Amino acid sequence: MTDPKAPSDNPGTLSGAARIAAYVRNLPESPGVYRMLGAKGEVLYVGKAKSLKKRVAAYAKPGGQTERIARMISETHDMLFVTTASESEALLLESNLIKRLKPRYNVSFRDDKSFPNILLREDHPFPQLLKHRGARTTKGHYYGPFASAGAVNRTLNTLQRAFLLRSCSDSVFESRTRPCLLHQIKRCAAPCVGRIDERAYSALVQETEAFLSGKSRSVQTRLAQEMEEASRGLDFERAAVLRDRIRAMSQIQSNQGINPTSFTDADVFALFAQGSDVCIQVFFFRAGQNWGNRPYFPRSGAQGDSADILASFIAQFYDERECPPLILLSESAAEAELLAEALTSRSGKRVELAVPRRGEKHDIVEMALSNAREQLARRLAENSAQVQLLEALADALGLDSPPRRIEVYDNSHIQGRHAVGAMIVAGPDGFEKAEYRKFNIKSDELTPGDDYAMLREVLSRRFGRLLRDDESAKAKWPELVLIDGGQGQLGIASQVFADLGIEDVALVAISKGPDRDAGREHFYRPGQAPFRLDVKSPVLYYLQRLRDEAHRFAIGSHRKRRSKAIGSNPLDEVAGVGAARKRALLQHFGSARAVSAASVADLQAVAGVSATLAKKIYDFFHAGG
């Protein structure tokens, strides 16, 4: 890739079509990617072209543009270019930049989470079956993607009943002395205590691999034959175990709804649009099984054509995901052959894009399209109600306009320990969980349990960072900040805002009424007397939901931090003490507290602990003593 040179006539004062035209003369006829930049350097649009010169020249021609593209051109103050070796390479680079930069005029969608998979590990004599999300660094077989963690959990629970593979970690496996509860409820073969040998367990692993690879019918047929043989041999206990395993496999298949017979691995994309609103429903099929679906609501940017939206969405969707060999579509995507070529290049195997017209594939796509239509109708109805609610909220709190971003703050701690501040975000689309943030209270000068000081630290860190980020964080500025507390908390928030010079954010504190009764909350705004809302007011219910969600998130974050602290071991911080020596010390002394009280001689008596290491451990626990 190379960057073409900028125009030599320095059109620094130009903008819009004239600014774009100044670049055309120096652009090559080769494929590449271009970026349109606004007055402050923000990326307005990212596009790819078979010929950069011809594509950019089209923007410089007067007339013939849609209103949205004409507006984008008028806002363009600069451009950046990158040439590529091929058009398919340009398409891949374009999708990567759109996903990373999220330009205003491109099709983009929120995609902040990876899909979960099922992992069958290969790095242990008794492989573990578990849920996995993220990079595939562990050696083993990965099955997925599943549409949600819930879908994975349900499938794993049923697989445990069907195949009896362990789900425990290696450390738990090695420390067991008797079977766990999962063995008692017939969800594990208990290899940890020798209830099954390695050869028999390996047979269960092979059956699991076959089932998850699309050979479920053959596995069930073989188990049914074994059940019949056990019954004829009067081994009714084994026959009952096999019967329960077969039922569990059947349950997986029945819960998945449609299980196709005309293909094994495919993703289905169905697009339904109503005006400028779009829903794309994605279904995942692997090993001939339906592994769930998820709706997306992409922002269509300057591209209003459904074929363009679908193509851009798919390119971004597979930017960091493994692509199946078959992609079924509800309608043709723009430049479908080029898109298939790019996906084939990225995945290293042939990828086909198809719009089925009849048969089972067509029926499955129609089902996905019906889901997209229903999801969009529900979303539009919810958004309409939400907009009305925000308008009523603005009236009730005396705001100039309905807030598009509301931030709610709360703290959680136990006697000042493991203190956590929490921020949740809500707006016209409801709760925006990807925007939630937690703040581990860091100040050493803070008095444990001082809620005012905690709030000051959280707000100072949050808005101090927003001010430092300036223009890049413009979309993150709230119109309304809601504080869980009373007049004191409001005073702290007002002081922080005054110190930072923030004047355009509305502040409201909400405190529970007498006896902490819901419905009798008092509200506080700077310079106003406290007030209450009607007990049956929808705005009151909405504000209660916001406060309760912040409280839930704060408590959850606090519990995670507390659990992590409880699970930590001071021996982990001693240099030279690895897993083996830590295990030897704990087995010898019984606990970390006993290790901390041991003498150098006692420590040196532990296998693997030298005189030097014993002194190091002793000094760690007695520093300053």
At 218-275, the pLDDT tens digits run 676 777 777 877 777 787 777 777 777 777 666 655 545 566 778 888 999 999 988 7
The CATH superfamily holding the domain 406-565 is UvrC, RNAse H endonuclease domain (3.30.420.340)
Confidence of residue 565 (pLDDT cuts 50, 70, 90): low
pTM of the model: 0.64
Q: Which residue has the higher pLDDT, 445 or 420?
A: 420
Q: Which residue has the higher pLDDT, 531 or 259?
A: 531
Confidence of residue 562 (pLDDT cuts 50, 70, 90): low
pLDDT (mean) for 356-385: 89
Q: Which helix (H) or strand (E) holds 511?
A: strand 506-511
Give percent of the chain with pLDDT exceeding 70: 86
Using the predicted structure, report yes or no on whether residue 557 has a pLDDT greater than 80. no
Q: What DSSP assignment string belongs to 551-593?
A: HHHHHHHHHHHHHHHHH--GGGGSTT--HHHHHHHHHHHSSHH
Using the predicted structure, report yes or no on whether residue 203 has a pLDDT greater than 50. yes
Tell me: the pLDDT tens digits for 581-613?
A: 888 887 777 777 778 888 888 888 888 888 888
| Domain coordinates in residue numbering, the chain | 16-101, 117-255, 266-376, 406-565, 570-621
Q: Which residue has the higher pLDDT, 418 or 202?
A: 202
pLDDT at 218: 65
pLDDT at 67: 78
pLDDT (mean) for 370-388: 86
Alpha-carbon gap, residue 178 to 167, rounded angstroms: 16
Minimum mean pLDDT range among 159-163, 277-281, 489-493, 566-570:
566-570
Q: Where do the H-state alpha helices sit in 213-289?
A: 216-232, 236-255
Q: Give backbone dihedrals phi and psi of 485, rounded to 5 degrees, phi first.
A: 160, -170
pLDDT at 336: 92
- Output the average pLDDT for the chain: 83
- Beta bridge pairs of residue 108: 299
Tell me which residue has tokens 């989470």.
Answer: 113
pLDDT at 210: 81
Tell me whether the CATH fold assigned to 266-376 matches the one assigned to 406-565: yes
User: Which pair of structure tokens corresponds to residue 36?
Assistant: 């349109």
pLDDT at 9: 44
Tell me: the pLDDT tens digits for 471-529?
A: 555 668 899 999 998 999 999 999 999 998 888 899 999 987 655 556 678 899 998 88
Using the predicted structure, report yes or no on whether residue 365 has a pLDDT greater than 90. yes
Highest average pLDDT, of 233-237, 280-284, 442-446, comes from 280-284
Alpha-carbon gap, residue 290 to 266, rounded angstroms: 10
User: Which pair of structure tokens corresponds to residue 500?
Assistant: 């930072």
Minimum mean pLDDT range among 22-36, 396-410, 421-435, 516-530:
516-530
Q: Which residues are CB-neighbours of 557 under 8 A, at least 6 positions away? A: 412, 420, 422, 438
Architecture label for domain 16-101: 3-Layer(aba) Sandwich (3.40)
pLDDT at 405: 93
pLDDT at 625: 45
Using the predicted structure, report yes or no on whether residue 564 has a pLDDT greater than 70. no
Minimum mean pLDDT range among 287-296, 329-338, 346-355, 537-546:
287-296
Using the predicted structure, report yes or no on whether residue 398 has a pLDDT greater than 80. yes
Using the predicted structure, report yes or no on whether residue 407 has a pLDDT greater than 80. yes
The radius of gyration of the chain's CA atoms, rounded to the nearest angstrom, is: 30
CATH of domain 266-376: 3.30.420.10
pLDDT at 356: 94
Spell out the CATH class of 570-621.
mainly alpha
Alpha-carbon gap, residue 290 to 269, rounded angstroms: 14
User: Which pair of structure tokens corresponds to residue 48?
Assistant: 């790819």
CA distances from 486 to 99, 315, 435, 525, 604 (A): 42, 49, 25, 10, 58
By residue count, the chain amounts to 625
CA distances from 427 to 105, 403, 445, 542, 618 (A): 21, 7, 35, 12, 55
Confidence of residue 8 (pLDDT cuts 50, 70, 90): very low
Q: Are 201 and 227 in contact (CB under 8 A)?
A: no
Minimum mean pLDDT range among 10-24, 74-88, 454-468:
10-24
Tell me: the pLDDT tens digits for 119-135?
A: 989 889 999 988 888 77
